[in-house]
Structure 1
């Protein structure tokens, strides 16, 4: 590949330094608003973009900002924010917590939240949408059973990454299967065996965690059931295979309809809640756009090729090939903060490594997807954690949540163990 250069990674290196160092020094990772490091990295990226004239450099950057994948993610952010806001406005979050407290033994409420997150993300194929929908529920649940909200939010993020990794309609599944030339069903079958142990251990951990005392048993009436119908409708629509945009639109309209019926909304408060939810996602959308531009400049300057080739060319054995596949995908994900983009970028070289060492496509696809979801679910500047932090209203920092990401960390450990004990199958 041409034009490979470590210098091309300068914008991302600058971002990491600007984001992490002030937090480490001050002990407060909110000391410097997250948009500032991204803005500085974006300015550096624009300066180092190819082209003699400023307008040419800006054109490369804005091309990345306008990438269809970035636009798709921003659109999902908008709809998910609107759905979460309207559902919260009608009391769907409180109703969900009330029903959960009424029917579930206190000891398994966190495990139940994890399972619900798994189910939603499997259905809709997006971890970000799942995190946005469930974070308010997780925080309300934590307050009710008197535990650290970061534990509950960690359970929601973990379950969201479970579905993102396995869903047949997830971008990561589609990208991994296509780049490795295997069917999504074969990839799913290989993948589920890889991550089920992590999911089961996470469930046990959430069951064993101490959870405060509830003084009174929650009382449920028919209105509570009505208020949770938007969540149920979203699940059913997703299971039917509806497009995520249609799913979230149905959720917004149904939540509004329920609000009108029970008297919690007027037409004006519905519009206000919808707008408020969309505006609440503005920071994440700005970050996504800046990341898109930065990644495009890094790619055009050869930074991604530099990473890919310096990992791939050091592979010497079949087992080493599997470690390289996981490492390669994970490293690219760290530098892109987007697991789908990481898979698409590293996929071609992973396929070459897999073919060279007779690794089945379903195995390489599974390793790629799992490694990317492990990294993405653990990144303090990843969309999932940023979305949760935003919805927590400043009550939590990314590093508060990272202390309780049991499932993502176990995914990473499972990858290492799987490679260590399994002899790769030959095609």
Structure 2
């Protein structure tokens, strides 16, 4: 941005919310009233909102500098690059019949459509724990499992919600996830030097995340097999399905091994794409023309299709980050942080945790549900609020992270996760394209995680304080620790 002056509007700070409001109205009209699940329509709504808001800015040029600043942030560029590189991989997985292989496997094992969402949830949890990335898991798991749900008669919204829930589980708990790392490193000790270690934070977080995961698994089974009386597939399904596509699990496993070993998503996807292409050619699942070709002057092939499929989502992502740039430049985040920090309610341990959880939820929503950068923004405030009442760095990190990974990251009309999931359900034979609100209903893990954290804050379950030399103690120290000590 060319200026450090706060962005101002003729109608006050409420002008910063014009673009999000127009975007929300556009999303509601298209998804709810017109039944048009089109990312391009959402991009248009955001763009129109920005253009209208710019007219009310006191400095028109500064407004667009704010938009550009939001789009140019490292997280925005990272998301854009990830979408570009995972597009061809998702297209490859879809083109090689991996989902048909899972239909065959499910039929052989007697797994019906009712139980399928529960099994997919476990598989997605394993995938996300291995890689530490929710986006990578979503773009790998949706092309595999969502089409398979058609043949098994699985409930679409429940299945899509199970995939997204499993992806978020690993992002919440994996030691290599960005949210685990950032939530730990933003919380400083006061009775010794250093910041919270990732291993200790994850170990303390496990009771919340695993409780939510187990409860989600039970509910997916109950809802799918009892309440919805999910289908079980039929003999024709078993006869038609082929196990050939399961050979593509080899490069997919290689992708996860590289991601876990090198902790580099770009390298992992490159290995998966190259290995998958070679495997598909050797297994006669693809011909060279299926990779990249042209027909009557039109470029074809899974590489081209993968990039093309991502363009609407990339456009939407850029507009969302542009709106975030306006909110930040207008000082909206600073207002929220200042009010929370100054609240007398935050002077007790329980009150401080409510402020931490509520504040993190609000900031996460403003960041379109993308938790990592929201923690980077709000983490230092959590450090001050929590340490002022003696909360242990592990507890501060976990209240912040789990509320961020809860309902705040999957709120309909605001969540990038739901928009991406909705886009990944489009164009699947035998399965409907789903609106974000439909997927939200089936996304049990973040909903249950929020309920568990509310219970934890209300009852004090898992609450620990910082004792001598950074030890975890159950009782609040009688001598208060300064929030600025050990700077």
TM-score (norm 2): 0.80
Structure 1, unpaired ranges of 5+? none
Q: Which residue of 1 aligns with 2:132?
A: 125
Q: Which residue of 1 aligns with 2:308?
A: 279
Q: Which residue of 2 aligns with 1:230?
A: 251
Larger deviation: 240-249 or 25-34?
25-34
Q: SS state of the match for residue 149, structure 2?
A: helix
Q: Which residue of 2 aligns with 1:98?
A: 104
Q: Which residue of 2 aligns with 1:75?
A: 81
Q: Which residue of 2 aligns with 1:367?
A: 399
TM-score (norm 1): 0.91
Whole-Å separation in 2 of the counterparts to 1:239 and 1:61: 35
> Against the structure 1 CA distance between its residues 23 and 316, is the aligned structure 2 distance closer, same or farther, given a 3 Å change threshold?
farther
Whole-Å separation in 1 of the counterparts to 2:198 and 2:252: 27
Is 1:311 paired with 2:340?
A: yes
Larger RCO: 1 or 2 (CA < 8 Å, sep 6+): 1
> Against the structure 1 CA distance between its residues 221 and 390, is the aligned structure 2 distance closer, same or farther, given a 3 Å change threshold?
closer
Is 1:215 paired with 2:223?
A: no
Structure number having the greater helix percentage: 1
Report how far residue 25 of structure 1 moved: 7.6
Whole-Å separation in 2 of the counterparts to 1:198 and 1:138: 22
Report how far residue 44 of structure 1 moved: 4.5
> Against the structure 1 CA distance between its residues 249 and 47, is the aligned structure 2 distance closer, same or farther, given a 3 Å change threshold?
farther
Q: Which residue of 2 aligns with 1:258?
A: 279
Report how far residue 416 of structure 1 moved: 0.1
Q: Which residue of 1 aligns with 2:71?
A: 65
> Against the structure 1 CA distance between its residues 105 and 69, is the aligned structure 2 distance closer, same or farther, given a 3 Å change threshold?
same
Task: Encode CA deviations 1:121-168: one digit per residue, 9 max, x unaligned.
Answer: 112221122112111233223212213211111100001110111122
Q: Which residue of 1 aligns with 2:196?
A: 182
Structure 2 matches for 1:25-424, cutoff 5 A? 26=33, 28=35, 30=37, 33-44=41-52, 46-47=54-55, 52=59, 54=61, 56-103=62-109, 105-106=111-112, 108-180=115-187, 181-208=195-222, 209-210=224-225, 211-216=230-235, 218=238, 223-271=244-292, 272-314=301-343, 315-337=346-368, 338-374=370-406, 375-393=408-426, 395-422=433-460, 424=463
Whole-Å separation in 1 of the counterparts to 2:347 and 2:365: 24
Whole-Å separation in 1 of the counterparts to 2:31 and 2:255: 41
8 Å Cα contact 2:357/2:399 also seen in 1: yes
Computing the radius of gyration over CA atoms, which structure comes out larger, 1 or 2?
Answer: 2
Q: Which residue of 1 aligns with 2:430?
A: none
Whole-Å separation in 1 of the counterparts to 2:48 and 2:165: 31
Q: SS state of the match for residue 34, structure 1?
A: helix
8 Å Cα contact 2:172/2:209 also seen in 1: no
Whole-Å separation in 1 of the counterparts to 2:109 and 2:28: 46
Task: Encode CA deviations 1:81-134: one digit per residue, 9 max, x unaligned.
Answer: 111101211212222332243236336432221011111111222112211211
Task: Encode CA deviations 1:267-287: one digit per residue, 9 max, x unaligned.
Answer: 332132022112211122112
Whole-Å separation in 2 of the counterparts to 1:112 and 1:341: 31
8 Å Cα contact 1:8/1:302 also seen in 2: no
Whole-Å separation in 1 of the counterparts to 2:445 and 2:68: 36
Whole-Å separation in 1 of the counterparts to 2:57 and 2:139: 34
Whole-Å separation in 2 of the counterparts to 1:243 and 1:414: 32
> Against the structure 1 CA distance between its residues 234 and 48, is the aligned structure 2 distance closer, same or farther, given a 3 Å change threshold?
farther
Structure 2, unpaired ranges of 5+? 188-194, 293-300, 428-432, 467-487
Task: Encode CA deviations 1:214-258: one digit per residue, 9 max, x unaligned.
Answer: 222737877344232222222222332441111111111111112
8 Å Cα contact 1:96/1:228 also seen in 2: no
8 Å Cα contact 1:20/1:29 also seen in 2: no
> Against the structure 1 CA distance between its residues 227 and 20, is the aligned structure 2 distance closer, same or farther, given a 3 Å change threshold?
closer
8 Å Cα contact 1:141/1:152 also seen in 2: no
Count of paired positions: 424
> Against the structure 1 CA distance between its residues 73 and 309, is the aligned structure 2 distance closer, same or farther, given a 3 Å change threshold?
same
Whole-Å separation in 1 of the counterparts to 2:120 and 2:32: 35
8 Å Cα contact 1:128/1:383 also seen in 2: no
Whole-Å separation in 1 of the counterparts to 2:244 and 2:209: 38
Q: SS state of the match for residue 133, structure 1?
A: helix
Whole-Å separation in 2 of the counterparts to 1:11 and 1:346: 23
